[in-house]
Structure 1
Amino acid sequence: MAVHKKAQAEREASVVWQGDLLSGSGTIETVTSDAFGGLPVSWASRTEEANGQTSPEELLAAAHAACFSMALSHELMGRGSAPERLEVSARVGFDPKVGGGFEVSFSRLTVRGQVPGMEMAVFEQAAREASEGCPISQALKGNVEITVLPTLA
């Protein structure tokens, strides 16, 4: 019998899928927080136009951007500089794999920060360390190419 580790915080999402991969579709029904639900998802939303549907890669991009923004805020505070504003976007690539199948190939984080008195070199270092400390980055590390493109406003 497997023993399951108890985490400090656990989050859950549920999906209902109907049909085969190519013509079927699903709905992200619920998430622990009740922040959203009823999100449609399909294979086409992953590989073609989204057409009002989401994809696992889009949700991964949202998770990575949110996690990184929190980690960077923490890194900047550790340097004595609270950010006034951080604008973070993540672009996640979904590509065919050599030998068949598909993979998440990259996550590119772009951040524009408003941090009074912050020098660019210090901001760049904080962004690198935030990427290393972000739990989503850690989960992707070794499987997905992660790049961070920081700029100051």
Structure 2
Amino acid sequence: MPRIVRDADIAWEGNLARGNGALSAASSGAFTALPYSLPTRIAAPEGKTSPEELLAAAHGGCFTMSLAGELTAAGTPPGRLDVHCRITMDEVEGQGHLIVHSALAVRARVDGVDEDALATAVEAAHRGCSFSSLLRAAGVDVDIDTTLEGGD
């Protein structure tokens, strides 16, 4: 795989408690000026995003592509993968607020795959996903729950 470089632009106005910001995908333009703020980061989102939500999307997206690749390489490409990722940030004594957990819930529809074959592909996908590697290296617990739907 070639070296990948992507950019984001972030703007922030005001102090931490009452300020607000905007996140934009500089490389692709896929999203522009996604709003975020401290109150909506730690309380109800109110239609705004957060760094943790974007990390959940990044981890879930990377893992899903990795799993599709593992299943395809095994000769059993997926019919459909639905993955939900939940990132948890919590206060860690003496360290402040840190990302402490990522939970992936995987629903897979794959013909010709049993539970054991899916578990093997999931483990390989977890090892191959760069965001899983990043989180593991940071000491974050990653749990993966899988459900095989249909298939053989």
Same fold (TM over 0.5): yes
Which deviates further from its counterpart, 106-115 or 40-49? Answer: 40-49
User: Shift in Å at residue 100 of structure 1?
Assistant: 5.0
1:78, distance to aligned residue in structure 2 (A): 1.8
Q: 1:82 aligns with which of 77, 81, 85?
A: 77
Which residue is 2:146 aligned to?
150
CA deviation after TM superposition for structure 1 residue 120, in Å: 0.6
1:150 corresponds to which letter in structure 2?
Answer: T
Identify the residue that residue 4 of structure 1 maps to in structure 2.
none
- The whole-number CA distance in structure 2 between the counterparts of 1:34 and 1:64 is 20
Q: 27, 35, 38: which one pairs with 2:33?
A: 38
- What TM-score, normalized by structure 2, do the two folds share? 0.92
The one-letter code sitting in structure 1 at the alignment partner of 2:60 is A
Q: Which runs of 5+ in 1 are unaligned?
A: 1-6
Superposition deviation, residue 31 in structure 1: 2.7
Higher deviation after alignment, 118-127 or 93-102: 93-102
Q: CA deviation at 1:104?
A: 0.8
The superposition leaves residues 128-149 of structure 1 with CA deviations (integer Å, 9 ceiling, x where unpaired) of 1101110111111132111111
Q: CA deviation at 1:30?
A: 3.7
Cα deviation for residue 51 of structure 1 reads 0.6
Partner of 1:128: 123
Alpha-carbon spacing, 1:67–1:30, altered in 2? closer, same or farther (3 Å) = closer
State the alpha-carbon separation in 1 of the partners of residues 41 and 30 from structure 2. 22
TM-score (norm 1): 0.91
Cα shift readout 1:95-153 (whole Å, capped 9, x = no counterpart): 11212521111110111000002101110121111011101111111321111111111
Count of residues in correspondence between the two structures: 147
Written as runs of structure 1 = structure 2, the 5 A alignment for 1:7-46 is 8-46=3-41
**What CA distance in whole angstroms lies between the structure 1 residues aligned with 2:4 and 2:111?**
33
Q: What does 1:114-125 correspond to in 2, within 5 Å?
A: 114-125=109-120
CA distance in 2, matches of 1:130, 1:27: 32
Quote the residue 2:62 is aligned against.
67
- 1:89 match: secondary structure: strand
Q: State the alpha-carbon separation in 2 of the partners of residues 40 and 138 from structure 1.
A: 28
Identity across aligned pairs (percent)?
38
SS at match of 2:56: helix
* Regions of 4+ moved over 2 Å: none
CA distance in 2, matches of 1:78, 1:86: 16
Q: CA deviation at 1:45?
A: 2.1
What CA distance in whole angstroms lies between the structure 1 residues aligned with 2:116 and 2:3? 35
